[in-house]
Structure 1
């Protein structure tokens, strides 16, 4: 319906109600603009995190709390702060003394912002209730549930995003699915040939993907007796991470190549054996270089792969080569100038000697 030349607007109206109809719902982020925080704004300072000893996560947040690994009592404690808390926490950081040995991974329940699952080298999984006001310093906390899958240490865990109280855990080379309500393990046979390094659920909770030290990526359906899909992973088995991109058919994995260069691969489970696209960076282990990836799950597109830090390194090398070239040209110019001066002096001496003879 055109409402005249003066009002340059077109609307689609319902014949039944006469109300305006919209085909697409406008995004609440349509007019969002980034805000760059000032230095120190929102930072948590002076915390001792130590050196991670596992492939799991070492910092997590819910809508109420943020939790991170700390170097305390053999690595069996976590720092717990309200989400908006900041500042120096060197001596007064509230700690959750969760395990007797190093905590390998932890995750918040997607349905409860105060429910935290932790696993450790002590071969136990514990479920904790964090109060809304946070953990009170120097007050012991009791776990709500303790699971002991076996004698092997537990490396990773992940809550099912669709089914409440369903938890996946990676114990050595096997994946286990636990029902937290009945405190029982569901009968599954999900195994890698070597240590499991990472796992991630699909958005609908029906499948999960894992990566292991056997350099394989495997897709599992917990209801099936064996793996659904498998594909070669990254060539180096030092570390790898895998992430199922929401409820799409795309899986993102990171790891190291044969020359220890960093790799990122995007795969489609419908053609799982060959990556849709991949990116390789430099081999600087653990050094931040400004490289950035933007993932858009809704449009199934890897929007940006910007190796800005790598470009900076290449630019620096190019500048060094240019400086060396200029230095060589300068030396060559000096040598030519020196030869020219020597030739001129010899010629002058020769002319002077001839005049003297005459």
Structure 2
């Protein structure tokens, strides 16, 4: 009689658990928009959620400790004139967050340490360059003040946030709507998926296609993709029969190393990858479960571990960076799940009896220090992530460091917080001058034609 050998893995018994009610964030009107972004971003200081707002777009930023019922009058970040579609905290400064909106703009905000005391309407920098709504934002993992945005105009823009300007504009690669855009671990490549069913790896500084793969998934529903730490790529999509799939691709894109069919759900699966453990979490919007898999170097490569299920469906999901977890409780991931009216943290834990620091669960992880500045990166210098140990738990960066980051971020803006002008004003006036000049030239041309026809008639 043959005996089935069970694969040994320290993550086989990982379990998810929702926190108690008093540790949730209650009475928040989560946005009703149907956009497929996370709607939530989180770091060791704050949790941010896109909320319903009358007369424009808004999102709420709460200190992690402000749990319980949130007052209806709690101040929001509300400078956009259209609904907010995506938000993301800067990985190198916990007080800086970017937002993309239906009003075609990207805004960079600075959140004070204790959270907001009044509505925030003036961004630190306003980035204008898209002609349609901006639905995808992604900060560079190692370069300071580099932000990628992708809009419904099928354009990817790389911004130098400190200067408030677009440096690279990738506008001739994608013939249709961009579903997904993300960086690899050192930010030397960009991965995109598109409505034309093609997955592309791009050189971010040249804007050229390095590799592409057509029909990664046969179905017509959106495909999501994420770089793994060894250069492989994991995608989620749909088969021709609308079954949801997860696939693993070698960097050369020949054939999938692994293609698994999951179920016939309709929600797009958002992948969250943890490079320290090799675990991928798949969260479907509109569903009530989180599946998780371990990715290894041995076939079948993607190993199903388990599933966390609850009663209520998720409208969005944020994932805490490793440095914000409680290592003394063997917590390897923490999600912030958005319900209709609340945000509920869900803790993923490896069951261990010892209270000592578990080195095998917490290898050195990516810290908040950038390894290159924006100008250096745009000139061609790559930087590897700067790793930190979690042995004594992570403590937030010192005031001096944060102040330095703020200074460099604000170097093109006025120091006075009251009027905070940004580069967009100069750009607007230049645009107006160009427009006026064009109008004057057109007027002169018309006048010349009139004079010539008058002379000929004489």
TM-score (norm 1): 0.69
- Counterparts of 2:50 and 2:91, CA distance in 1: 20
Q: Taking CA–CA contacts closer than 8 Å with sequence separation of 6 or more, which of the two structures ends up with the larger relative contact order?
A: 2
Alpha-carbon shift at residue 139 of structure 1 (Å)? 3.4
What is the aligned partner in structure 2 of residue 4 from structure 1?
none
Residue matched to 2:123: 143
Alignment gaps of 5+ in structure 1: 1-28, 310-358
Matching residue of 2:194: 212
Matched with 1:24 is none
Q: Which residue of 1 aligns with 2:383?
A: none
Q: Relative to structure 2, which stretch is displaced further, 74-83 or 152-161?
A: 74-83
Mapping for residues 260-339 of structure 1, pairs under 5 Å = 260-269=242-251, 271-286=252-267, 288=287, 290=289, 292-295=291-294, 302-304=302-304, 306=306
**C-alpha deviation, 1:222, in angstroms:** 1.6
Whether the 8 Å CA contact 2:290–2:307 is kept in 1: the answer is yes
Partner residue in 2 for 1:120 = 101
The answer to whether the 8 A contact 2:193-2:224 is kept is: yes
Alignment partner of 1:243 is 2:226: yes
Query: Given the alignment of the two structures, is residue 195 of structure 1 paired with residue 160 of structure 2, yes or no?
Result: no
- State whether residues 294 and 305 of structure 2, in contact with CA within 8 Å, keep that contact through their aligned partners in structure 1: no
State the match for 2:135 in structure 1: 155
Write the deviation string for residues 190-211 of structure 1: whole angstroms up to 9, x where unpaired.
5211000111100101001011
SS in 2 for 1:223: coil
Cα distance, 1:285 vs structure 2? 2.6
Larger Rg: 1
- Taking a change above 3 Å as real, the CA distance of residues 41 and 117 of structure 1, as seen in their structure-2 partners, is same
Residue 299 of structure 1 and its aligned partner are, at CA, apart by 9.8
- 1:78/1:98 contact within 8 Å kept: no
In structure 2, the residue matched to 1:96 is: 77
2 CA distance for matches of 1:216 and 1:307? 30
How many Å separate the matches in 2 of 1:233 and 1:122?
32
- Specify the alignment match of 2:44 in structure 1: 63
Farther off after superposition, 195-204 or 217-226: 217-226
Which residue number in structure 1 is paired with residue 88 of structure 2?
Answer: 107
In 2, Cα distance between the equivalents of 1:126 and 1:298?
41
- 8 Å CA contact 1:155–1:196 kept in 2: the answer is no
Are 1:188 and 1:222, in contact at CA under 8 Å, matched by a contact in 2?
no
Deviation, 1:40, is 1.5
- Cα distance between partner residues in 1 of 2:296 and 2:183: 15
C-alpha distance after superposition, 1:255-295 (max 9, x if no partner):
222222211112221x3132221222222334536452234
8 A contact 2:15–2:308 mirrored in 1: no
Q: Deviations over 1:194-252 (max 9, x none)?
A: 0001111001010010111111111011234520011123223332322222x421222
C-alpha change, 1:82 and 1:289, in structure 2 (3 Å) is closer
- Whether contact under 8 Å (1:80, 1:93) holds in the other structure is no
Shift of 1:76: 0.4
In structure 2, do the counterparts of structure 1 residues 199 and 274 end up closer, same or farther at CA, with 3 Å as the change threshold? same
Residue among 5, 12, 26 paired with 1:45:
26
How many residue pairs end up in the alignment? 277
Take 1:180 and 1:142, find their aligned partners in 2: how far apart are those partners?
16
Query: What is the CA deviation profile of residues 63-97 of structure 1, one whole-angstrom value per residue up to 9, with x for unaligned ones?
Result: 11100111112560102111232212262443211
Q: Which runs of 5+ in 2 are unaligned?
A: 1-9, 268-285, 310-458
